[in-house]
Structure 1
């Protein structure tokens, strides 16, 4: 059985490094890690069905970071007036 404190929280540094590597911004990486931990917690009823909580957490983190990059690029394009 997965325990948030013992199995998920220790992943915090690994999640941060992944988010930072993608976003290249400290504050964004911290926000992404926090959102990742929240989303993993909200899925706690499904933890028994998840083969690897680490892979699950890293996937959420990666997707959030990539979404953030896409969002920033879209904002930059709209500010430039190009589509």
Structure 2
């Protein structure tokens, strides 16, 4: 079964690492409104544009989403 973007993002959490994607994951964990079951780029992007004040730039989301797609293709997931 395909994992949601949030499920992927949670694999990137690490309190001892400080790169932008890891910080995004750490902060998204505390965002109780994050669309946890969503995998669609547009839906996630729209949510983060209005609610992702913890993102320094939407480029961080783009980077994380591209890594998510790459991980899904390695696992045989559908896009």
TM-score by length of 2: 0.35
Between structures 1 and 2, the one with greater helix share: 1
TM-score by length of 1: 0.34
Larger Rg: 1
